[in-house]
């Protein structure tokens, strides 16, 4: 029996199978990218639930406990999700993924942004755990191939509405729109709770009427009297897009599916 136990111990050691390292990630889409790159080598914990506001959220007690075992934390920017650091042990390695030339913190909401995240994650993981580097690079290659196919699917879906314009509530979709030849006529909120003034709203109404823009993109759980006034005055329509995904929804439970979901919704709304 002791020989059998020793045999399995050696087998596990040779195969490189060890207890998965815990990696904490602020938002689900980025966490899903991290999971696809890390594979079975990591247990990935998402800190902020899909329904929550990343700017105003405190982890549940159970999540706070899990964060105490995090060896790595992948965030977006210190301003966006840097507050999570106070729940992490001092020895946790903290990495923020936003590049200097990316316009805002929604770095995952377009395919090239997702690729950049995956490459950065693979590089950090390979340097931190060099014995697993081959696995991370293999998973990265698989992810990038999947993203190439996802990008082609999105391009096909959005091609019929190329050049169309919409209004967004939150400054989240700039890079997505630019990637597929769409135009953002205006943004209602600056992303930090400040909406357009009454005078700016009147100008926006006139601008939207003149440009025949009807679609106003909102977050799944966002409510705004200003946005509703705009929609009413331009006889427009509200479109709810999902920036954060949902692990419980088969149509939005992985990063690639989330991008395609939003592309389909936007194409349908702009085509009407």
DSSP-assigned beta bridge partners for residue 241: 219
Which phi-psi region, left, alpha or beta, contains residue 73 (left: φ > 0; alpha: ψ -120 to 50)?
beta
12 Cβ contact list (under 8 Å, min separation 6): 18
Residue 6, pLDDT > 50, answer no
CA-closest candidate to residue 270, choices 206, 216, 204: 216
Residue 10 confidence class, pLDDT cut points 50, 70, 90: very low
Residue 271, pLDDT > 50, answer yes
Is pTM beyond 0.75? Reply is yes
pLDDT of residue 60: 87
Give the tens place of pLDDT for each residue, 155-191. Answer: 999 999 999 999 999 999 999 999 999 999 999 998 7
Give the tens place of pLDDT for each residue, 229-246. Answer: 999 999 999 999 999 999
pLDDT of residue 17: 43
- Interval 116-126 mean pLDDT: 98
Residue 110, pLDDT > 50, answer yes
Give the tens place of pLDDT for each residue, 52-68. Answer: 877 778 888 998 999 99
Residue 5, pLDDT > 70, answer no
87 Cβ contact list (under 8 Å, min separation 6): 47, 59, 64, 67
- The domains located in the chain, with CATH, are 16-155 (3.40.50.1980), 162-241 (3.40.50.1980)
Residue 111 confidence class, pLDDT cut points 50, 70, 90: very high
* Residues above pLDDT 90, as percent of the chain: 82
**Residue 43 and residue 183: Cα distance in Å, rounded?**
39
- Pick the range with the lowest mean pLDDT from 10-19, 67-76, 106-115, 224-233: 10-19
- Interval 138-149 mean pLDDT: 98
Residue 193, pLDDT > 80, answer no
- Interval 125-138 mean pLDDT: 98
Residue 1 confidence class, pLDDT cut points 50, 70, 90: very low
Backbone φ, ψ for residue 72 (5° rounding):
-135, 150
Query: Tokens 């209004």 — which residue?
Result: 167
pLDDT of residue 104: 81
- Across all residues in the chain, what is the average pLDDT? 92
- Interval 187-203 mean pLDDT: 92
Rounded to the nearest 10°, the torsion over CA 79, 83, 89, 93 is -20
């Amino acid at each position: 029996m002791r020989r059998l136990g020793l045999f399995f111990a050696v087998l596990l050691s040779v195969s490189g199978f060890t207890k998965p390292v815990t990696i904490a990630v602020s938002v689900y889409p980025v966490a899903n990218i991290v999971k696809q790159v890390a594979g079975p080598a990591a247990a990935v914990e998402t800190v902020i639930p899909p329904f929550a506001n990343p700017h105003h959220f405190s982890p549940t007690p159970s999540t706070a406990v899990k964060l105490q075992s995090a060896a790595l934390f992948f965030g977006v920017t210190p301003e966006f999700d840097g507050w999570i650091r106070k729940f992490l042990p001092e020895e946790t390695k903290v990495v923020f993924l936003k590049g200097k030339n990316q316009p805002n913190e929604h770095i995952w909401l377009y395919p090239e942004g997702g690729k950049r995240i995956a490459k950065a994650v693979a590089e950090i993981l390979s340097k931190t755990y060099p014995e697993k580097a081959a696995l991370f690079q293999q998973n990265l290659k698989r992810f990038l191939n999947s993203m190439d196919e996802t990008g082609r699917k999105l391009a096909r879906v959005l091609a019929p509405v190329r050049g169309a314009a919409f209004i967004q509530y939150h400054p989240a979709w700039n890079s997505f729109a630019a990637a597929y030849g769409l135009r953002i006529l205006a943004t209602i909120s600056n992303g930090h709770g400040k909406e357009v003034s009454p005078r700016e709203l009147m100008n926006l109404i006139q601008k939207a009427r003149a440009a025949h823009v009807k679609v106003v993109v909102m977050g799944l759980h966002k409510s705004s009297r200003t946005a509703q006034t705009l929609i009413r005055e331009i006889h427009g329509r509200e479109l709810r897009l999902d920036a954060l995904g949902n692990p419980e929804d088969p149509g939005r439970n992985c990063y690639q599916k989330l991008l395609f979901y939003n592309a389909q919704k936007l194409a349908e709304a702009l085509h009407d």
